[in-house]
Amino acid sequence: MARTSSTPVSAPATEPRPEAGRRPAFSLFIISLRPEQWTKNLLLFAGLIFGGRLLQVNAVLTATAAFAIFCALSGAVYLFNDVWDQDADRRHPLKEKRPIAAGDLTSRAALSAGAVLTALALAAAFLINAALGAVASGYVLLLLLYSVTLKHVVIIDVLTIAGGFVLRAIAGALAVDVPIGAWLLSCTTLLALFLALSKRRHELMLLGEGAVGHRRILEEYSPYLLDQMISVVTASTLIAYAVFATSADTAQRLGTSRLDLTIPFVLYGIFRYLYLVHQKRGGGSPAALLSTDRPLLACVVLWVGTVAVLMYSPLGR
């Protein structure tokens, strides 16, 4: 989502498309909201599941509303980002096809839609409860700061991306009024860092020598450095989850002492992701990998299903 704000290399202005070749305005807005990325917001359901409220209808409806709110907010932020970074996007082999970069959607229309969407979503968040509204506001502010300045600060850039994931998890817990444990929050932070670092590595490999011209911060990274960071975060994530799954405190809070049965799914999921990053040059979009790689998707579904069975059925006792 980050792009360089350095003075763009001279690029021809995008010519408006002939009316006959333009897509409907509504479809352009939907594409710019990037619904394929909304799977990241499924993290909001973590509080519902691990808070023991999965079988409560009111809690499920509230969590679903919070999910919809964050889908709207993330979509609005994408609109703002695409306006801010449209010149850089035109030099990217994949992003050049985005409606704003391609000249199909005007900056004014995108900014207006983003502002309205943000206002409505934040109002809905405050209607659920003030804490959720505060976190949702912080989420928008953090991502806008990332777009403007934080993406240009080495290491802080990936920490900020990870922070967006953590705020989603916190928001999900606040929406249904359940505490989020320290270990679970640690696991979320580490996993988010793993995904952010993998994204940086993918960008370096995809753009090659043109990486710095598109994203200035990539000059501060190298595949070797990122691999070292990914190794540290991967080991830390696995250790943190193992401690979380086997601790007596977890067993007492979640009502099951058999969460250790889910550790193989976490191991496979992370190793599969590393395989896709290193052998298939993936990792640019975690949401895309999750939706297109069947083994990874199956692993996540099995992990969620196993956690639900262990927590909400006699089998977990």
Looking at the structure, do residues 255 and 297 belong to the same domain, yes or no? yes
Rounded to two decimals, the pTM is 0.84
Looking at the structure, do residues 294 and 196 belong to the same domain, yes or no? yes
In a domain, 242, yes or no: yes
Domain count, the chain: 2
Q: How far is CA 237 from CA 93, 279, 317, in A?
A: 33, 21, 26
Three-state DSSP class for residue 283:
coil
Whether the pLDDT of residue 217 is over 60: the answer is yes
Q: Give the pLDDT confidence score for residue 147 in this predicted structure.
A: 86
Both tokens assigned to 61? 């409806």
Looking at the structure, do residues 37 and 168 belong to the same domain, yes or no? yes
Contacts 24+ apart (CB under 8 A), 294-297: 296/269, 296/272
Q: How far is CA 139 from CA 29, 143, 169, 196, 224, in A?
A: 21, 6, 11, 16, 31
Residue at a domain's end among 159, 180, 201: 180
Residue that is written with structure tokens 């580490």 in the block: 190
What's the pLDDT band for 8 if we cut at 50, 70, 90?
very low
In a domain, 17, yes or no: no
Looking at the structure, do residues 156 and 274 belong to the same domain, yes or no? no
Q: Give the pLDDT confidence score for residue 213 in this predicted structure.
A: 61
In a domain, 160, yes or no: yes
Residue at a domain's end among 180, 203, 221: 180
Looking at the structure, do residues 301 and 201 belong to the same domain, yes or no? yes
Residue at a domain's end among 130, 164, 180: 180
Whether the pLDDT of residue 84 is over 60: the answer is yes
Looking at the structure, do residues 136 and 191 belong to the same domain, yes or no? no
- Count Cβ atoms below 10 Å from residue 235 Cβ, excluding itself: 12
Both tokens assigned to 194? 């793993």
In a domain, 34, yes or no: yes
Looking at the structure, do residues 266 and 216 belong to the same domain, yes or no? yes
Q: Give the pLDDT confidence score for residue 26 in this predicted structure.
A: 77
Looking at the structure, do residues 61 and 150 belong to the same domain, yes or no? yes
CA 82-86-87 angle, to 5 degrees, is: 160
Cβ pair 203, 218 in contact under 8 A = yes
Cβ pair 225, 201 in contact under 8 A = no
In a domain, 4, yes or no: no
Q: For the purposes of burial, counting CB atoms within 10 Å of the CB of 109, is it exposed (0-12), middle (13-18) or buried (19 or more)? A: middle
Angstrom distance (rounded) from CA 313 to CA 315: 5
In a domain, 15, yes or no: no
Distance of CA 244 to the CA centre of its chain: 22
Domain of residue 230: give its range. 181-317
Whether the pLDDT of residue 12 is over 60: the answer is no
Cβ pair 218, 207 in contact under 8 A = yes
Output the domain CATH number for residue 74: 1.10.357.140
pLDDT, averaged across the chain: 86
7-11, 113-117, 208-212, 300-304: least confident range: 7-11
Angstrom distance (rounded) from CA 278 to CA 205: 10
Angstrom distance (rounded) from CA 151 to CA 144: 10
In a domain, 74, yes or no: yes
Whether the pLDDT of residue 316 is over 80: the answer is no
Whether the pLDDT of residue 211 is over 90: the answer is no
Looking at the structure, do residues 149 and 122 belong to the same domain, yes or no? yes
Looking at the structure, do residues 229 and 138 belong to the same domain, yes or no? no
Looking at the structure, do residues 133 and 86 belong to the same domain, yes or no? yes
21-30, 86-95, 189-198: least confident range: 86-95
In a domain, 9, yes or no: no
Distance of CA 213 to the CA centre of its chain: 25
Q: Where are the beta strands (DSSP E) in the chain?
A: none
CA atoms lying within 13 Å on the CB side of residue 204? 19
* pLDDT tens digits along 252-284: 888 889 999 999 999 999 999 999 998 887 767
Looking at the structure, do residues 134 and 39 belong to the same domain, yes or no? yes
> Considering just the CA atoms, what is the radius of gyration of the chain in Å?
20
